[in-house]
Chain A
Amino acid sequence: MIERFSPTERAAHWVHATAFLALLATGLILYFPSLSEAVGRRPLLKDLHVYTAVAWIIGLTLVVVLGDRRRLRRTLHELDVYDADDMLWLQRYPRPQGRFNAGQKINAALTGAFAVLFAVSGTLLWLGERDHRFQFASTILLHDWLTFFSLVLLVGHLYLAVIYPATRHSLRGITTGQVRRDWAARHHEKWVREQE
């Protein structure tokens, strides 16, 4: 076995994932009329949605403050940098990949951008209800479209991490931190070579 994700990285992932699913559940109930009618309790659900969002931001902040920031910075760097192999891999050539393949790098960049946009548009929705200077006709559209795009990302992410046989071993990495060396050598060859 070989360590793919540090405790700090795993904490960041699971704080984000848990909060996202809770926000998605409450958000969908608030959004769909049929669900709204069946569940009722809109004021309570709104509060739950908002408090979950606050917990999400506090949680991620705590992970950064208390966690291994040097590792996180290195992770960010790995996600930032694309080499020639990455560009070829994206064109479906079987090129060796680092700890993150190019698809995971794209997923990370989009997830990060969506997180910022969710936080900004959600804050504006909350503020706008209290102070109309912050009320813009487009805020709710942005929040909705982020939900839609995030769902597409989530479905792809879950498929590859939980269902698709060749890649689902990666779930072990994000839960226990460890992955099998032979699996890593197949999917993240350059990273395994660096480790040796």
Chain B
Amino acid sequence: MKPTETRTYGRRAFLGVTAVGLSSLVWGKGAWNAFVAIAPPSLVPGWRIYTVASTMPRFDPATWRLTIDGLVGAPQTISYDQLRALPAADQVSTFHCVTGWTVHNVHWRGVRFADLLANAQPRPDASVLTFTSAEKPYVDTLTLDQAHLPDAMLAYEMNGKPLPREHGAPVRVVIPDMYGYKGVKWVERITLGAEAEPGYWEQRGYDTDAWVGHSN
């Protein structure tokens, strides 16, 4: 640059950075996934905690009960110890949030719904499970077919430890094929029914069948 020359680099920097930022709405997630694939896991930020009530429910193992009722032959009230005594299942799966973030390789341990519901004896006309959260007024549903997918479960451990409070202690729904809002946290009641009432986010316009990549 000659001593007397001037250049309008300021607006170019402003416009350039703005353009790169806006275009990242198209390529951002792809670039991020490529980074996550090669980056050490400690460098990858993971969970975001979304809640709808003013405080997160607290779990007390002594008083906590899970109720299973509705269209069942034998309604159940299960303590935490009784739940842990049911046949356990383990899985490693990917968690997708509808807002765009993803957590890979989450290790879950819990109970498959077939084992969880066996004692309650679901009636033939039951086709929907309604999960009521201790976090009011959160509620959501799965069809029995969806709940019986091979990697759906009611999880009580995450990555080798009891489910932390912010992840829904003591139990949450895990269904990796669907977005996370279907995975009700702090589950305290499972009601079997014949029809699905819209869940918390469904009442706000989200899909009931929240298949990852094919909904909303």
Contacts and interface: CB of A to CB of B under 8 A. Distances in A.
Interface of A: 31, 33, 36-37, 40-44, 76, 79-84, 87, 105-106, 108-110, 112-114, 116-117, 120-121, 124-125, 128-132, 135-142, 144-146
Contacts of B205: 130-132
B11 to A, nearest CB: 5
A83 B52 contact: no
Given A40-B56, A136-B25, A113 B51 contact: no
Contacts of B53: 42-43
B22 interface: yes
B202 interface: no
Nearest to A140: B100
Contact of B52 (A31, A42, A79, A113): A42
Contact of B10 (A37, A109, A129, A135): A109
Main secondary structure of the interface of A (DSSP, over half): helix
Contact of B17 (A31, A84, A109, A129): A109
A140 to B, nearest CB: 5
A137 B25 CA distance: 8
B162 to A, nearest CB: 15
Nearest to A86: B9
Given A36-B166, A44-B54, A130-B205, A82 B25 contact: no
B31 to A, nearest CB: 9
A138 to B, nearest CB: 3
A58 to B, nearest CB: 21
B22 A141 contact: no
24 contacts: A40-B51, A40-B54, A42-B50, A42-B52, A43-B54, A80-B9, A82-B8, A83-B4, A105-B10, A108-B10, A110-B14, A110-B17, A113-B18, A117-B21, A120-B21, A124-B25, A125-B99, A128-B99, A135-B98, A137-B28, A138-B25, A138-B32, A140-B99, A141-B32
Interface residues of B, number: 47
B13 to A, nearest CB: 4
A114 B2 CA distance: 31
B48 A31 contact: yes
Contact of A37 (B11, B165, B204): B165
Nearest to A135: B216
Contacts of B206: 132
Interface string B105-145: 00000000000000000000000000000000000000000
Contacts of A139: 25, 99-100
A37 B21 contact: no
Interface string B182-207: 00000000000000000000001110
